[in-house]
Structure 1
Amino acid sequence: MENPRTITDLPFEILDLVFKNLFYLKCKVNLSQAHEKLGKAFAFHCRNKFRRLSTGSQLKPKMWAMLIKECGPSIEEFVYGDLGYSWNDTIADAVATHCPNLKTVSIVLYRSGREGVPAFLMKVKNSLKSVTLDQQDHFPSTFLTAVSEITQLKTLSFKGYVDENVYQIQNLVALEKLTIENHYYLRKPSVNLLKICAPLSNLKELSAINIKIIPFDEPCSVMWGGLKSLKLIRCEVCTELPDCQELTYLDIDGLSCQIEGYVLRFILKNGGNLKELYESCEPPIKADEFHQLLRGCPKLRYFYTPMEYIKLYLDYVSTIVEILVHNGVSREDPLELVITRRIKWKWFRRLLLRTTNAELIDLYVTTE
Structure 2
Amino acid sequence: MEPQRTLTDLPFEVLDLIFKALAYKDLRGRWPPYTVYHYSKDKLSLAETCEYLGQAFAYHSRDIYKKAIYDRSSPYISERDYSVIVSLCGSTAVEYVGSPGCNWSAEVAKAVGQYCPNLQRVRFQVYLDNGDILISLIHKAKNAIKSLDFGYASHDPLRIGSNIMHKIPELPLLKTLTLDSFRVDEAYEIQRFLSIEELFLQSHYSHIEDLKTLNLFKVCAPLKKLRILTVIGVHIISETDEDEAIPEFPALEHFKLSSCIISMEFPSCPKLKILDISCTKCHIEGLVCKSVLKQGKDLERLIVESRPSQFDNESLLEVIQKFRKLRYFNVPIRKIKFDLLYATELVNVLRENGVTKEDPLELVLDEVSKIHWLHHWLSYISGSNIIKARVY
TM-score (norm 2): 0.78
Q: Deviations over 1:165-201 (max 9, x none)?
A: 2222222233222222212132211112233224333
Higher alpha-carbon Rg: 2
How far did 1:340 drift? 5.5
Deviation at 1:233, TM superposition (A): 2.1
Change in 2 beyond 3 A, CA 1:103/1:330: same
Q: Secondary structure at the match of 2:257?
A: strand
Q: Greater shift after overlay, 4-13 or 51-60? A: 4-13
Match of 1:182 in 2: 203
Partner of 2:206, secondary structure, is coil
- Partner SS state of residue 294, structure 2: helix
Which of residues 21, 28, 33 in structure 1 aligns to 2:39?
28
* Residue in structure 1 matched with residue 298 of structure 2 by the alignment: 273
* 155-164 vs 211-220, greater mean Cα deviation: 211-220
Aligned to 2:80, which of 40, 46, 62? 62
What residue is the counterpart of 1:102 in the other structure? Answer: 119
Q: Corresponding residue for 2:174?
A: 153
Matched, 1:11 2:14: yes
Pairing of 1:182-201 with structure 2 (within 5 A): 182-186=203-207, 187-201=210-224
Matching residue within 267, 278, 290 for 1:242: 267
Contact kept, 8 Å, 1:32 with 1:41, in 2: the verdict is no
* Structure 2 unaligned spans of 5+: 26-30
Q: Work out whether residues 98 and 105 of structure 2, in 8 Å CA contact, stay in contact via their aligned partners in 1.
A: no
Residues 77-122 of structure 1: per-residue CA shift (max 9 Å, x gap): 21222x8437422111221222222111111333343443334333
Point out the more displaced range, 66-75 or 291-300: 66-75
Task: Report the Cα distance in structure 1 between the residues aligned to 2:178 and 2:340, rounded to whole angstroms.
Answer: 45
Q: Once structures 1 and 2 are overlaid, which stretch shifts more, 134-143 or 168-177?
A: 134-143
Q: What is the CA RMSD across the aligned residues, in angstroms? A: 3.6
Partner secondary structure for residue 142 of structure 1: coil
Task: Work out which of the residue numbers 331, 338, 346 in structure 2 matches 1:305.
Answer: 331
Tell me how far 1:142 sits from its aligned partner: 1.3
Q: What is the aligned-residue identity percentage?
A: 28
Listed one character per residue, the Cα deviations across residues 111-140 of structure 1 (whole Å, up to 9, x for unaligned) are: 343443334333332322221112232547
CA distance in 1, matches of 2:225, 2:375: 43
* Per-residue deviation, 1:345: 5.7
Q: Whole-Å Cα distance in 1 between the matches of residues 330 and 22 of structure 2?
A: 50
Counterpart-to-counterpart distance in 1, 2:91 and 2:351: 55
Instruction: Tell me the residue number matched to 2:67.
Output: 52
User: 1:213 and 2:236 equivalent?
Assistant: yes
User: Alpha carbons of 1:114 and 1:353: their partners in 2 closer, same or farther (altered >3 Å)?
Assistant: farther
* CA 1:43–1:148: 2 relative to 1, 3 Å: closer
Q: Cα 1:305–1:18, aligned 2, differ >3 Å: closer, same or farther? A: farther
1:226 to 251, 262, 268: 251
CA distance in 1, matches of 2:373, 2:42: 66
Q: What residue in structure 2 maps to residue 142 of structure 1?
A: 163
Residue number in structure 2 paired with 1:73? 91
Between 200-209 and 111-120, report the one with greater CA deviation.
111-120
Q: Distance in 1 between matches of 2:171 and 2:197?
A: 14
**Could you tell me how far apart the structure 1 residues matched to 2:187 and 2:272 are?**
25
Deviations 1:198-245 (A, max 9, x none): 433332332322111222569756452332222222222222232222
In the other structure, the counterpart of 2:110 is: 93
**How high is the TM-score relative to the length of structure 1?**
0.82
Using the TM superposition, give the Cα deviation of residue 280 of structure 1 relative to its aligned residue in structure 2, in angstroms. 0.8
